[in-house]
Amino acid sequence: MAESTPIRKIIHVDMDAFYASVEQLDDPTLRGKPVAVGGGSKRGVVAAASYEARKFGVRSAMSGVLARNKCPELIFVKPRFERYKEISQQIRKIFLEYTDLVEPLSLDEAYLDVTENKKGLPSATLIAREIREKIFDETGLRASAGISINKFIAKVASDINKPNGQKTIAPEEVESFLLGLDIRKFYGVGKVTAEKMYQLGIFTGADLKNKSEDFLTEHFGKSGGHYYRVVRGIHTSAVKPSRVPKSIGAERTFSENLSSELFMLEKLQKIAEELENRILPKKRAGKTVTLKIKYSDFNLHTRSKTLPYYISRAELIFEISKELLFQAPLENSVRLLGISLSNLNTATEAAETPNSSVSVQLSFDF
């Protein structure tokens, strides 16, 4: 690990099967049973699965039909995002008791920089344990955590002792941990990239570290430099309390395929209204409207238009989306429509987001 790398105390907290656990918390009859949040119909998709369901191979993003085939006793419940958001806000308040440097990734996970913390506690490991206990005491839900010197390693570590556990990778352990890590665990290495790495003889962190930066850049472009640095424990991305969104969107999957643009106008109107409801509380507006069309054969197309001014109201969003819909003939029947607004009025806010980088000595408690 490079001596010049900023060393921080980073915790990654990840709630265990969050959506499904909330449903089991609120409905005692679901406890100990295989539960999937989502839809079990022909078009349904699993948003989250309880650990009882995961034992059968049920996973998020799996079709409801396949999930039920894997687990005939599976119980489907409809998602209640307002409830999940309510509990997520409770958990966020707990994080903020320890540090203002909290970067939410979603409703159920976040990074915390506790290098300097409000309670003056010397050990990030003890802080993580205390946070997990407090989450359980106040919400009845379990969380797992990873603790290390940067966001990448902390996130990987949080998976090691799931559910209801934690793992610390101390500074002196980072090198050996990364060398033994399966290449598929490295951030940015998806299925396609992993296959390419296998063909190049790269299966573990040790194999990756043996490759030069020039070699990795030649085969993986700009990502090659990332792989070269991260396997050496160099990952300088700071925990950013304000994650400025680049776009805001809304979409809808239909129970029956739509075959004509005329049938889609009412759907687009409702999606535009939903988007406005998401935009206005955040005081956002955007210049670029993007229409997302997913066909019945799962091919995905997008059409965009950029305006010389910001918009946020449903009427204008709908009019631009309608124009994009009729821009070209449909190629097939449609199963999903979505509208997103980007090029947002957040450039100044992003520029003003403080950098939370803290450089300290290696010889502190983890």
Catalytic residues: 109
- The strand order across the sheet containing 102-106 reads 102-106, 109-113, 10-15, 143-148, 166-168
What tokens were used for 148? 């290390």
174 vs 148: CA distance, rounded Å: 8
Q: CA–CA separation, 186 vs 70, rounded Å?
A: 29
Residue given tokens 């307002």 in the structure block: 82
Q: CA 12, CA 118: separation in Å to the nearest integer?
A: 18
β-bridge pairing 35-38 and 75-77: parallel
Helical H segments across the chain, by residue range: 18-26, 51-54, 64-70, 81-96, 124-139, 151-157, 174-179, 191-199, 205-209, 213-220, 222-230, 261-279, 314-325, 347-352
